[in-house]
Amino acid sequence: MKTKNFTKTFTLLLGLMLIAAFGFAQATIVEWNFDDETKQVEPHLPYSADDGIPSNVDIAPVSLTGASFTDWNTGASGQSANANNWDDGNGTKYWQASFSTEGYENLALSSKQRGSNTGPGDFKVEYSLDDLTWADVPSANITVENNFTTGVLTNVALPAACNDQPTVYLRWIMTSNTSVNGGTVASAGTNRIDDIVITGTALPLTLTLDVEGEGTIGYNTDVNQPVNINQTRNGITWVNCIDPPCDYPFEPGTYVQIRAVPAPGWEFVEWVGTYTVASIPAFRIVFDQITVE
């Protein structure tokens, strides 16, 4: 007679030391302040990022299309990139930035522009994932004046399509040929750009363990997040943290051990990272029913 093959009881202890300081903090993914004299040299543009995550800093470029770089001039702080030859540039002349957002979501854009009186007065920001097809970033129309306080975007949300991408392209493109002073953009008219900053929050943690319960936890150490541990129903008898306090979500810095004990008739299969709620990391524990022979 075949007997039910009761599962071995797996008792898995997982120590998670969440070395964390701030939950859900905004991280600087990429920043150009244009103040690095070592990069203010020929050919000047593209100018690589001054700050950000390792995949961007000193790599991610800001470039210029259609107009002409003139010099490094006074910016909102330090220097800014300055350009002329914006005449007849409606829809064709733009500043452009490209950068990685891998591992990040909830992206927000800030930038500052200033024009001379005959420089272009109207821009908008578009985004692309392939440098070919462009769409508007919502709420990113910019009116430029002869100061660094008007043509400013502050924490404008980037579309979710930009999350977790190897390369996101943004461009600040002219939307008219009207100049700052209400005339027509002249070839001598200039536009400066400074303090481009994109922030975001780290994507949820991912956890990979094999069936023996050995494995590693991988997460972005730049931004640490609270951790939820969810129960699944497939045969699990109990998943919990071992050492109180066990309030969910666990705050960053909490030392947590969780135990997965399959119910009779079930077998532990794997731990996987999962996204149960946007921005809330969770660990799912998978069980399969054991074949009754």
What residues pair up with 105 in beta bridges, in sequence order? 201
Contact 60, 49 (CB under 8 A): yes
Looking at beta carbons only, is 77 or 139 nearer to Ca ion? Answer: 77
Minimum CB separation of residue 202 from Ca ion in Å reads: 27
Q: In sequence order, what E strands does 179-242 have? A: 191-202, 206-209, 215-218, 228-229, 236-241
Query: For residue 202, what are its two tokens?
Result: 């780290």
Minimum CB separation of residue 75 from Ca ion in Å reads: 3
Looking at beta carbons only, is 34 or 123 nearer to Ca ion? Answer: 34
Minimum CB separation of residue 31 from Ca ion in Å reads: 10
What letter represents residue 7's amino acid? T
Looking at beta carbons only, is 78 or 215 nearer to Ca ion? Answer: 78
Minimum CB separation of residue 187 from Ca ion in Å reads: 25
The binding site for Ca ion (CB under 5 A) comprises 33-35, 75, 77-78, 194
Looking at beta carbons only, is 12 or 196 nearer to Ca ion? Answer: 196
Phi, psi of 161, deg, nearest 5: -60, -20
**155/110 Cα distance (integer angstroms):** 5
What letter represents residue 229's amino acid? I
Minimum CB separation of residue 101 from Ca ion in Å reads: 23
Minimum CB separation of residue 221 from Ca ion in Å reads: 28
Minimum CB separation of residue 74 from Ca ion in Å reads: 9
CA distances from 216 to 107, 198, 262, 268, 272 (A): 27, 30, 21, 17, 11
Minimum CB separation of residue 154 from Ca ion in Å reads: 16
**123/119 Cα distance (integer angstroms):** 11
What letter represents residue 5's amino acid? N
**72/53 Cα distance (integer angstroms):** 25
Looking at beta carbons only, is 51 or 270 nearer to Ca ion? Answer: 51
Burial class (CB in 10 A: 0-12, 13-18, 19+), 244: exposed
Looking at beta carbons only, is 20 or 197 nearer to Ca ion? Answer: 197
The C-alpha angle 110, 116, 117, rounded to 5 degrees, equals 125
Phi, psi of 162, deg, nearest 5: -85, -10
Contact 130, 166 (CB under 8 A): no
Looking at beta carbons only, is 75 or 200 nearer to Ca ion? Answer: 75
Looking at beta carbons only, is 20 or 193 nearer to Ca ion? Answer: 193
